[in-house]
Structure 1
Amino acid sequence: MSKLKIAVQKSGRLSEKSLQLLSDCGIRLSNGERRLKATSTNFPVEILFLRDDDIPQYVEEGVADAGILGQNEVWEKDKKVTQVKQLGFAGCRLSLAVPKDVVYTGAAYFNNKKVATSYPVILQKFFNENNINASIETISGSVEIAPAIGLADGIFDIVSTGSTLQINGLKEVEQVIKSEAVLISNTNLSAEKQEILDKLLFRIQSVKNAAENKYILLNAPNEAIPQISSILPGMKSPTVLPLAEPGWSSIHSVVREDAFWDIIDQLKALGAEGILVTNVEKMIL
């Protein structure tokens, strides 16, 4: 039987998150030391551990069938691959930054300036779209020190918290794009490998659904059930079970994480008591 070869970053935060996602999908890997590759013992996939900036090329060429990496690398390498799914982790932004003492009045500041970056393709597209004539200095690593050593007037780089910019005497002035981890695939997968990918996507979506929702149990007076049901629809409708105490029922449902606290306040106002909330491990719609 064919195995789907999935490339992941060989080290770093994104690598750990990628492997955790596969684990959450029930995929067990045989090689815990991550030398070059690992094979699943219970699902037809093989994991290849590669440099993140090499993954788009390997997926395009079919060395790997799929890959998990940051969107920024997909955009920068501009290879012929299919972006299959955004994964919702390893979020960051790519931004322009200048020395703190610069009086910044807008993107036109970069006209006739030199900008250091590891992402020249993305940056050049931004400059072209904004009619900015700037010089791009392509470097790898330690981009933040470029202004301090006189190599550039500003930088374009990944920003997560902004602390690295502050340490190097820089300030973020233009957010160009937001990026997160994505699953990509070769554009010409065989039918058998596409079927494996589809099964993996089903598992990934179930894990994402679970992460975005909470399971909630509560007790409520029967007269409040219609109103509570309207704000706790669950997947179809909440489960309502009578309690031993007359006039009361137990209601079970799910609630989205981003609406959780607002809904809790509404439930309390409707007389809900004994509210219990727990994580959902998997959620299949």
Structure 2
Amino acid sequence: MERLIIALQKSGRLREGSLELLKECGLKTDYRDGQLKIVTSDYPAELLFLRNSDIPQYVSDGVVDLGIVGSNLLEEDETPVEIIQALNFSQCRLSFAVPKASGIQTAEDLQGKRIATSYPNSVRKYLQQQGITAEIHPISGSVEIAPSLDLSDAIADIVSTGNTLFQNNLREIFPFLYSEAVLIKGPDLAPEKQVLLDQLLFRIQSVLAGNENKYILLNAPKEKLSTICKILPGMKSPTILPLAVEGWISIHSVVKKKEVWQVVQQLKSEGAEGILVCPIEKMVS
């Protein structure tokens, strides 16, 4: 029986999000620390836990069929793989940072400076685009300590919350590359496995759509229906049901998660009552 072989990060911030997404897609992923392989019993897939930096090459070489990595990694090593789906988790940014007392404020201020980073190719590409010449010092880890050891004037590193910069007496200047988890595949996938991939993508997209939207229910005077329909973006049109109370209706629709509060306030101002906002587990289009 054909199985999709999917490479996941062995350790790091992406592993938990990857396992949670696959679980929501119906793949049984009972994981224990140190485990390097999971064969799912409810979907034809095999999960391999690999070193993050090895995943793109394994996918490109056809050793595994798919991988979940940060898009920043692909920008850095330029391995020939195809991004087939952005996964909307593990968002972060690659930023320049300097000691708090530094006078460096802008990209132009990096001219001639020493920059320590674990992402030398990404930094080099950005500086070239800006016409800036600087000394790039590749460091494999603990980049934040470089300025305090007088190894660099600035660093370029992944920033999520900014806590690590704060703890090392650094301040972020500006981001120059944004990243999130992505699903990748290599150049050649057997037709049988392509069928499985299409099924998995369908599940992933349904889960992501559910996460990005909310189900909204409300009661409103019937004469307000036209106005309320203009407020609700919906999918095609809202569901409208009569209430036992004469002249009142119940309206059901779907709203983008990021727009919920704005929509709710507008609905309230038009006389809507009993507004409920509910999560959506899956949304199939």
Aligned to 1:93: 93
Aligned to 1:149: 149
- Structure 1 distance, partners of 2:164, 2:266, is 42
Aligned to 1:116: 116
1:218-239 Cα offsets, whole Å, 9 max, x none, are 1111111122122224222111
Q: Which amino acid aligns with 1:20?
A: E
1:16-165 correspondence to structure 2 within 5 Å: 16-29=16-29, 32=32, 35-165=35-165
Q: CA 1:152 to 1:66, structure 2 compared with 1: closer, same or farther past 3 Å?
A: same
Unaligned ranges ≥5, structure 2: none
Identity of aligned residues (%): 53
Q: Helix, strand or coil for the counterpart of 2:175?
A: strand
Q: Helix, strand or coil for the counterpart of 2:195?
A: helix
- Structure 2 distance, partners of 1:117, 1:16, is 25
Count of residues in correspondence between the two structures: 285
Structure 1 residue 267, shift from structure 2 partner: 1.1
Q: Which amino acid aligns with 2:113?
A: K
Unaligned ranges ≥5, structure 1: none
Structure 1 residue 30, shift from structure 2 partner: 5.8
1:187-245 Cα offsets, whole Å, 9 max, x none, are 11111112211111111111111111111111111111122122224222111111111
Aligned to 2:254: 254
Q: TM-score, normalised to structure 2's length?
A: 0.95
Q: CA 1:262 to 1:105, structure 2 compared with 1: closer, same or farther past 3 Å?
A: closer
- Structure 1 distance, partners of 2:219, 2:163, is 46
1:20-41 Cα offsets, whole Å, 9 max, x none, are 0001111113654551111111
Q: Which amino acid aligns with 1:102?
A: S
- Structure 1 distance, partners of 2:32, 2:17, is 15
**Conservation of the 8 A alpha-carbon contact between 1:76 and 1:122:** yes
- Structure 1 distance, partners of 2:281, 2:34, is 26
- Structure 2 distance, partners of 1:174, 1:14, is 23
Q: TM-score, normalised to structure 1's length?
A: 0.95
Aligned to 1:6: 6
Q: Which amino acid aligns with 1:163?
A: N
- Structure 2 distance, partners of 1:34, 1:178, is 30
Instruction: Report the aligned-residue RMSD.
Output: 1.5
- Greater Cα shift, 104-113 or 62-71: 104-113
- Greater Cα shift, 127-136 or 213-222: 127-136
Structure 1 residue 276, shift from structure 2 partner: 1.4
Structure 1 residue 105, shift from structure 2 partner: 4.6
